[in-house]
Amino acid sequence: MPTPENSFAMRYQRQELFGPLGLAGQARLAEAKVLIVGAGGLGSWLGELLVRAGVGLVKLVDGDVVDWTNLARQAMYEELDAAQARPKVQAAKNRLAKINSAVEVQAIETMLTPANIDAQAGDVDLILDGTDDWTSRFVINDYAVKMHKPWIFAGVVGAQGQVLPCLPGRGACLRCVFETPPSQKTEQANKASTRGVLGPPVATIASLEAIEAIKILTGQIEAVNTHLLKLDAWTGQIQKLNTSQPTPDCPCCQLGKFDFLQTEKMQHSRPGCEVRLKNIGTI
């Protein structure tokens, strides 16, 4: 029977046998630092996948608590967490410590804002989208572009999801693809609390986001999918939109305007406009 020491050494054996990763890639994961914004549907699955993969530091930022509606689709949480309305990040940290004690997990019980994003994201290698708030995504995008830091956009509602890795100097950023956040009315109409959401698409999109994260963290940038991938898990339809090049007039990555990092701008950034996908083709 393996000793605890041998068991730990064997933990990543199957991952290391995967050619594109190997021992060198696993070593890079152990040194990597990741911020997951949101510890709900996507964020909870991302946390578990990356902690199991051996990422050295995982930060979870979320100011919400576990409730009963979370349990059908969110990993890591149990009935007792919902009954006691435990903060998601604390419940997640407790769970993740039991999965992989070698990974440092930081639980940050707050919502991400323009004022605190640098404190949360300044020392990480990658930012992952686990939020369902569009304005927060635009804050992340502005910060990531300004700081030349990679991040991955993702979202799920109903059985439909989408993923877009945003890499500094390579491919489109979020504002190349979506011009503005939706109005509050439109955003609320498209939340899980209004339209519903299924667990399997959440786990699927989180897995797609996590595999792109592993590519980035191990330095395999050429393998990263820089197209916007859209999935309808109910119908089985998959679509790739060509976002391999930035939009020439993008206010963020091309013109250097970081409007959503301004607190005053944030307070007035929810006009009656919609999220409008720019005119990009499929591949």
pLDDT in single tens digits along all 283 residues of the chain: 455 566 777 999 999 999 999 999 999 999 999 999 999 999 999 999 999 999 999 999 999 999 999 999 999 999 999 999 999 999 999 999 999 999 999 999 999 999 999 999 999 999 999 999 999 999 999 999 999 999 999 999 999 999 999 999 899 999 999 988 876 777 665 666 667 899 999 999 999 999 999 999 999 999 999 999 999 999 999 999 999 999 999 999 999 999 999 965 554 444 443 444 565 666 6
Please say whether the beta carbons of 73 and 202 come within 8 A.
yes
Q: What's the pTM value of the predicted model, to 2 decimals?
A: 0.91
Domain assignment of residue 213, yes or no: yes
Distance CA 90, CA 227 (A): 34
Say if 5 falls within a structural domain.
Answer: no
Q: Which CB contacts under 8 angstroms, 24+ apart, belong to 219-223?
A: 219/28, 220/20, 220/25, 221/167, 221/170, 223/20
Number of domains, the chain = 1
Q: Which range marks the domain in which residue 97 is found?
A: 11-267
Q: Domain with 160 in it: what CATH number?
A: 3.40.50.720
42 occurs within a structural domain: yes
Residue 209 placed within a domain = yes
| Residue 280 in domain | no
